[in-house]
Structure 1
């Protein structure tokens, strides 16, 4: 790899996802891409055949795996990394009263602690290049969508952490971008299965609605991962730092969060996930 070529490492690059789209967008801008996946069989043909992409096996929950990735990148880049994209993450759809706290802790490990572990491990390479770290949070960090409190909270932790790290990394010459990601069309929900509700759940009457939400219905009419990736790479390239809203209706979502009084914001949330309406409907059906 030529020393003048910029480099980027992206976590979670399975085909059909945001990571893969970001990898291809960075390739298009001339970067050498370190595309990481837990399972190499899930890498896209475009990435696996590109001479400017290095495929690395990486489990972001494993310190040993992270350290091995650092050593691999060091060897190819002479100890530098221009961009680190913490993209790996998971979802969780369940009412809080029925959520497994054990599973919730695992999600926090993936959505919050893993990005911090990656940042700590790659910090020397980023400092050496005066680079940029990109943390993929979610609009749900600011919009409290019902049935997703564990996911929302893990992404809120990442968003606040990322913005705090921005202040800490700035004196070291490292930029930080916190992505507030709105809906993006991906294959994520193809493999996601929400936990089944027990018959004793207060929400058992709307279990079909919850299954519908967990099937990825909120991604209907969402922008493509490729469109999203182009926006993100543009922000990296032009030197942006701080919170960046990207994805479907990102501008309106940002505006709603920034300017709307709480009752209006609640109406927006309920329009996206109409939990109260569905609960009332289920109660009426019980009486019939």
Structure 2
């Protein structure tokens, strides 16, 4: 029966996250959902046991794991995949002067290169289905909200530009692409991230408390729920929407700001760190 349904594979479906909300929304819409996570036990039992849901272990940084997922999906769907949602991602909050370059590269591996690896691997299934690629990026890739997120912001900016370019390349093959420019969504992303530790010899060490506070979830306080987010994405996929879709709490305001405001006005729009406190310490 599952083989007769439209199929969707979603990365990063651990309980409490955006992926879980997407999986629930697509399942309710009647899709055969391949709910994946690096650690499948982190997928909620209610989702794992739902009708037409297949749980699959998937580490987006492992070519072998990706290949196993392709084989599993192909076997169960007759070699097709209607929708691929690249949702997995990682967050980093750290002053650029103190960032480990090695750790920064790992973040790019998750937020950018893994997305392309998934698209490459599933391309034959998507082309056969005349399917859909959905890439979850961030409003932080367009507007650098606050300081200390330069590596994350840059990785998402790369993902946005990559997704929009891949859209042009995949269109002649019959595959549509939707780029989600995600604003505030209530999820457990900050809960799962260890608070950043600023080195004692850092210029920014006096702001340790401020930077730690940024990681407590306050950036999501005006966010929509993951399920509301998922419902919105399903509707747009069903309509055949392509290109950028701004979605989440504050998304409309952020889009207007990015479109209309000159750079100098961004200073009042974007939340900045308390530079006066830092300058006093430096002096």
SS at 2:105's partner residue?
Answer: helix
Residues 1:219 and 1:2: Cα distance change in structure 2 (over 3 Å): closer
Deviation at 1:283, TM superposition (A): 4.3
SS at 2:36's partner residue?
Answer: strand
Give the corresponding residue for 2:154.
153
Counterpart contact for 1:8–1:84, Cα < 8 Å: yes
Give the corresponding residue for 1:64.
64
Unaligned runs of 5+ in 2: none
* Distance in 1 between residues matched to 2:69 and 2:268, nearest whole Å: 45
* Distance in 1 between residues matched to 2:258 and 2:9, nearest whole Å: 31
SS at 1:190's partner residue?
Answer: coil
* Distance in 1 between residues matched to 2:200 and 2:3, nearest whole Å: 61
Give the corresponding residue for 1:280.
276
Counterpart contact for 2:206–2:281, Cα < 8 Å: no
Give the corresponding residue for 1:186.
187
* Distance in 1 between residues matched to 2:281 and 2:112, nearest whole Å: 41
Give the corresponding residue for 1:230.
231
For structure 1, which segment, 186-195 or 130-139, has the greater mean C-alpha deviation from structure 2 after superposition? 186-195
Counterpart contact for 1:88–1:111, Cα < 8 Å: yes
* Distance in 1 between residues matched to 2:195 and 2:44, nearest whole Å: 26
SS at 1:180's partner residue?
Answer: strand
Deviation string for 1:30-75 (max 9, x for gaps)? 1000000111211112211113100000000000000000000001
Unaligned runs of 5+ in 1: none
* Distance in 1 between residues matched to 2:244 and 2:227, nearest whole Å: 20
Give the corresponding residue for 1:267.
268
* Distance in 1 between residues matched to 2:199 and 2:54, nearest whole Å: 45
TM-score by length of 1: 0.95
Give the corresponding residue for 1:134.
134
Moved over 4 A (4+): 282-287
Give the corresponding residue for 1:144.
144
Deviation at 1:194, TM superposition (A): 3.5
Deviation string for 1:168-193 (max 9, x for gaps)? 00000000001100011101111211
* Distance in 2 between residues matched to 1:153 and 1:216, nearest whole Å: 20
Deviation at 1:195, TM superposition (A): 3.1
Deviation at 1:266, TM superposition (A): 2.9
TM-score by length of 2: 0.96
Q: Which is bigger in relative contact order (C-alpha 8 A, separation at least 6)?
A: 2
Counterpart contact for 1:203–1:279, Cα < 8 Å: no
Aligned residues: 282
